Amino acid sequence: MEKSGFILINKPVGPTSHDIVDALRRITGIRKIGHAGTLDPFASGLLILGVGREATKKLSVFLRQDKEYIAKVRLGAISTTCDRDGEIRLTRNPKTPAREDIEKVVKKFIGEIKQVPPAFSAKKVKGKKLYELARSGVEIKLKPVSLVVRDIEVLNYDWPFLDIKVQCSSGTYIRSLARDIGEDLGCGGYLEELCRTKIGGLSLDDALEISRLNSRNWREFLMPAGREAPIS
């Protein structure tokens, strides 16, 4: 019987989530591999990979679970993609907010909120991904979606960079949150760095670098489908 389960990977900055899937396919020799939630190339952190048919069928469970992120927001500028990979435009004579101003503003984004997804995202509209439409020059007026931000903690602030920890429901775009926080502060903002630290009860602390895996040892790191915590 085909070995099936989950492997927790610490995705580095650079490769796409699909690149990690392809790497694991080469290591295991198994084609049926998927992941539970895309991380952009510039983002790092926890990526849950389902190996085998039984596990890939259960990836949707992780997709629906809450997430935790550590984000670095660049204030005083805006981006066409709401992150550092877009076309950046500096804000003219930006107001430099005090830490107290930032603490007040981020509190406004805690709870059930409405959020407009970024134009460059994998969200689909009429079967087409938004980034495909955006790259082809098609403008789509996006409607706000409801989501829940459980908590936002300000970790560090040294103008123009703001480090925050965000606990949120599935479907939250941290890029949009960075954009909206910057807009509310009156200086603009975009996402400079992002690390996903938790998905449900699973933590980045339990993940491993994919470079540690090879054709002989990968089964040792497999979390059986049906378990809610990684093997210790």
Q: How much of the chain is in helix, strand and coil states, percent to nearest 5? A: 25, 35, 40
Domains of the chain (ranges; CATH) run 5-64+200-224 (3.30.2350.10), 67-198 (3.30.2350.10)
Please check whether residue 64 is in contact with residue 13, taking contact to mean a CB–CB distance below 8 angstroms. no
Active site residues: 40
| pLDDT at residue 143 in the model | 83
DSSP 122-156: S-EETTEEHHHHHHTT----PPPEEEEEEEEEEEE
Q: Is-contact 183 189, C-beta < 8 A?
A: yes
Q: Which pLDDT does position 137 carry in this prediction?
A: 46
| Closest to 66 (Cα-Cα) out of 231, 201, 232, 209 | 201
- Each residue's pLDDT, cut to its tens digit, for the chain (232 residues) gives 468 999 999 999 999 999 999 999 999 999 999 999 999 999 999 999 999 999 999 999 999 999 999 999 999 999 988 999 889 999 999 989 999 999 999 999 999 999 998 865 555 445 554 444 344 444 556 789 999 999 999 999 999 999 999 999 999 999 999 999 999 999 999 999 999 999 999 999 999 999 999 999 999 999 987 654 443 3
39 close to 83: Cβ distance less than 8 angstroms: no
Angle in degrees, CA 171, 177, 179, rounded to 5:
135
Residue 188 CB-density burial (10 A; 0-12 exposed, 13-18 middle, 19+ buried): buried
Query: For 204, phi and psi rounded to 5 degrees?
Result: -60, -25
Q: What is the pTM of this model?
A: 0.88
Cβ atoms < 10 Å from Cβ of 160:
19
Question: 189 pairs with which residues across the strands?
Answer: 75
Look up tokens 């200086």; give the residue.
187
pLDDT at 225: 77
pLDDT at position 133: 39
Tell me which DSSP letter residue 60 carries: H
